[in-house]
């Protein structure tokens, strides 16, 4: 069973990295850029079991994401 956990910044959090990338892109001459945001994902494989999703949820909440600034979303692959 593989789950993918997506993590991105909460709305309103200014991510300096995305800001820097945005600037570089427009310096590169791409004028049509309207917005850019960055996130990360983890593909997690676990052995077949009943409450797998629960476990992944716990890991995402307690470890993978930082609730002060980030949201997470889990999908089954």
Partner 1 sequence: MKKISQKTIKEHGLSKNEYSLINNILKREPNILELGIFSVMWSEHCSYKSTKKWLKTLPTSGKSVICGPGENAGIIDIGDEDAIVFKMESHNHPSFIEPYQGAATGVGGIMRDIFTMGARPIANLNSLRFGAPKHPKTKNLLSGVVKGIGDYGNCVGIPTVGGECFFHESYNNNILVNAMCVGLVKKNKIFYSTAKGIGNPIIYVGSKTGRDGIHGATMASAEFDDQSESSRPQVQVGDPFMEKLLLESCLELMKEDAIIAIQDMGAAGLTSSSFEMASKGSCGVKLYLDLVPCREENMSPYEMMLSETQERMLMIVKPTKKKLTIDIFRKWGLEAVEIGEITNTGNMEIFFKKNLVGKLPIKPLAESSPEYDRPSKKPKTIKKKGNYKNFSIKDALVKIISSPNHSSKKWIFNQYDRSVMCDTIFSSEESDAAVVRVHNSNKAIAITCDCNPIFCNSNPKLGAAIGVAESWRNLISSGAEPIAITDNLNFGNPEKEEIMYQIKEAIEGIKMACEVLKYPVVSGNVSLYNETNKKSIIPTPVIGGVGLIKKLSHAKGFKMNFGDKIFLVGESLGHLELSELNRICNKNTGKPPPLDLKKELKNGLFIKNFIKKHHSVVSGCHDLSDGGLILALAELVLKNKKGIKVKIPKNVKKIKEWFFCEDQSRYIIIVKNEKELISSAKINEINLQEVAIVDGNSFSIINQFEISVKKLISYNNTWFKRFVQI
Partner 2 sequence: MPKRIISIIVFPGSNCDRDLAIAIQNHLNVKTQYVWHDNSKIDNYEMIFIPGGFSFGDYLRAGVLATKSPALGEVIRLAKKGVPIIGICNGFQILTECNLLDGTLMNNKNQLFICDKSYLKIENNKSIFSKNLKKSVVQFPIAHAQGNFFASNDSLKELEDNNQIIFRYCSKQGVINEKNNPNGSLNNIAGITNKQKNILGMMPHPERAINKFDDQDGVLFFNGLKELL
Here the contacts of 66-70 (C-beta below 8 Å, separation 24 or greater) are: 69/9, 69/10, 69/13, 70/7, 70/8, 70/9, 70/10
37 binds partner 1 (CB under 8 A): no
26 binds its own copies (CB under 8 A): no
21 binds partner 2 (CB under 8 A): yes
57 binds partner 2 (CB under 8 A): no
| Distances 49 to 2, 26, 52, 55, 56 between C-alpha atoms, Å | 12, 48, 6, 10, 12
Site residues (CB under 8 A) for its own copies? Answer: 6, 8, 18, 21, 24-25, 28, 30, 32-47, 49, 52, 55, 59, 62-64
Site residues (CB under 8 A) for partner 1? Answer: 10-16, 20, 23, 27, 66, 68-69
């Amino acid at each position: 069973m593989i789950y993918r956990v997506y993590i991105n910044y909460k709305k309103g959090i200014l991510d300096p990295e995305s800001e820097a990338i945005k600037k570089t892109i427009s310096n590169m001459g791409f004028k049509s850029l309207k917005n850019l945001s960055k996130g990360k994902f983890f593909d997690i494989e676990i052995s077949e079991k009943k409450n797998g999703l629960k476990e992944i949820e716990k890991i995402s909440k307690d470890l993978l994401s930082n609730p002060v600034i980030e949201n997470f979303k889990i999908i089954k692959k």
